[in-house]
Amino acid sequence: MHSRPDPALRAVALPAVARAMVAKLQRLRAHPILNPAAFEESWRERAGHAVDPDHRPHLVAAVDWLARAQDAAAQGAGDEKGKGGVARGYSLAWSPMCGSCAWQPPVPGGAGEIIPVLYSASRHLRRSALADRAEYAALWELDLQLPSGAMRASWTERPAPSVANTGQALLDWLAAFRETGAGIFAGAARRAAWFLLATLGEDGVWRQGRIQDANRHAALFDARAAWALAEAGRRLRAPECRAAAARALRAVARQQHENGWLPECSGSGRQGALAGTVADTIRGLLEGGRVLEDEDLIARAARAAERAALAMDPAGRFPGSLASDWRPAASWGCLSGTAQMATIWLRLFETTREIRWLEPVDTALRFLKSTQNRVSTDPGVHGGIKAAYPLGAEHGAYQLLVSGTAGFADALLRDERRRAGIAPMVATEAA
């Protein structure tokens, strides 16, 4: 005699099966065979794209791509062209986020990737319209600031605060205030700084405004926010912000290993640390140490940056994930992480004047140039930097991202100025 299935169990099982089927269909829909643009770019990248020894053609192509990302977001929102947020990136294959081969919608914190870069590029390239774009993006971010002073974490009906997004927005508003002198940006920066100050624990760790599983190494996760707070202390003449930033950065320093390793802080539960998060932590230590005039913090950043340089392969590809002994924990390369590390090595050279920091820069930038398509007629491809190499890697598959393209432009700007003997940019000009 057969027992009949429990209706309650069937009610649970059917949605689970449906979700699994939908996930499989989405993976199939995103396969490059069904997405000609993704298939074409995957094929092209095998041979690599043309590399110009001069940075300028690559820099201009990257900056123009960032401008189109801003235009796409504004058009999608129905705003006047160029006024508004910035698309998160461009999808070469179908995705639930935006459909097939399209610009992705803007996300809170996304515009901050380009604001300091656009201000710097405006002066360096003598293109005043880029400064206007940076100001529009900074104004757009003002609409996302919560009454607490924090930046929202996502587009939810009940928005939650994000320490990471608040730190980035603080750097953006400080840059906009420096460039424009507008009190609206100074006010936003003060509110953001006070949120960070009010929520920082006595042990130097932020536990509010973060993803739930990032508590173990929370201090490292927000090293960049600590740098922002230090900058606010200096620019807004708020010594209490400097003191809080020092406390937060010392909490980071306490967790660093003898080999320079910064414990896994992506909060994702994966093995190894994502390259972008490691780079953000190193940058926070370096720039925070510079603002606070703390040689120990700078030395700690240098120790980690030196080991990171050894992790990059001879072709200039920086691994997408790293193990605690600095060995690659992924077979794919993170392009935004490569760009971030190139900037860090350049900043260390600017700070210490030690030539050794330039050795990995040329290799990294040449590799990044070889991934940039400057001949495509697709406006979402031409000049942008992809999330990963190869294009179909597990992280950010078949996407070009604002974060990587802005980081690439930042590194090119700094290195072009170095080559020309022009004074280095201040850190928040291209944060």
User: Per-residue pLDDT for 2 more than 60?
Assistant: no
Helices 239-255, 223-235: inter-axial angle, 10-degree rounding: 160
CA 6/CA 324 separation, integer angstroms: 48
CA distances (Å), origin 406, targets 88, 335, 363, 417: 11, 11, 19, 17
Is 17 part of a structural domain of the chain? no
Residue 6 has pLDDT above 80, yes or no: no
Give every CB contact of residue 62 below 8 A, 6+ residues apart in sequence: 372, 383, 384, 385, 405, 406, 408, 409, 412
Weakest mean pLDDT among 70-84, 155-169, 329-343: 70-84
Residue 103 has pLDDT above 80, yes or no: yes
CA distance 86 to 73: 5
Q: Which residues pair with 220 in a beta bridge?
A: none
Whether the pLDDT of residue 3 is over 50: the answer is no
- Has residue 317 been placed in a domain? yes
Residue 233 sits in a domain of what CATH number? 1.50.10.10
Structural domain contains residue 237: yes
What confidence category does residue 18 fall into, taking pLDDT thresholds of 50, 70 and 90? low
Q: Identify the pLDDT of residue 269.
A: 46
Long-range contacts of 151-154 (CB under 8 A, 24+ apart): 151/108, 151/109, 151/192, 152/108, 153/108, 153/209, 154/107, 154/108
Please state, as a whole number, how many other Cβ atoms lie within 10 Å of the Cβ of residue 7.
7
In a domain, 180, yes or no: yes
Measured CA angle at 53 (ends 49, 58), to 5 deg: 60
Distance CA 190, CA 197 (A): 10
- Tell which residue, 131, 135, 132, 126, has the closest CA to residue 60: 126
Examine residue 48 and state whether it is found in any structural domain, yes or no.
Answer: no
CA distance 14 to 33: 30
Angle (CA) 185-186-191 rounded to 5° is 95
**Segment 382-417, tens digit of pLDDT:** 999 999 999 988 788 889 999 999 999 999 999 999
Residues contacting 197, CB < 8 A, separation 6+: 229, 240, 241, 244
pLDDT category, 109, cuts 50, 70, 90?
A: confident
Ranked by mean pLDDT, the top range of 29-33, 265-269, 328-332, 360-364 is 360-364
Q: Over the stretch 258-270, which tens digit does the pLDDT of each residue have?
A: 999 998 554 444 5
Total number of domains in the chain:
1
What 8-state DSSP symbol labels residue 2?
P
Structural domain contains residue 28: no
Structure confidence at residue 218 (pLDDT): 56
Structural domain harbouring 189: 55-430
**Mean per-residue pLDDT, 11-35:** 57
Within 45-127, residue ranges assigned H as helices are 55-77, 115-124
Answer with the residue of higher pLDDT: 31 or 235: 235
Contact partners, residue 130, CB within 8 Å, separation at least 6: 63, 67, 118, 119, 121, 122
**Residue 329 domain flag:** yes
**How high does pLDDT run on average in the chain?**
86
For residue 292, tell me if it sits in a domain.
yes
Owner of token pair 């698309």: 87
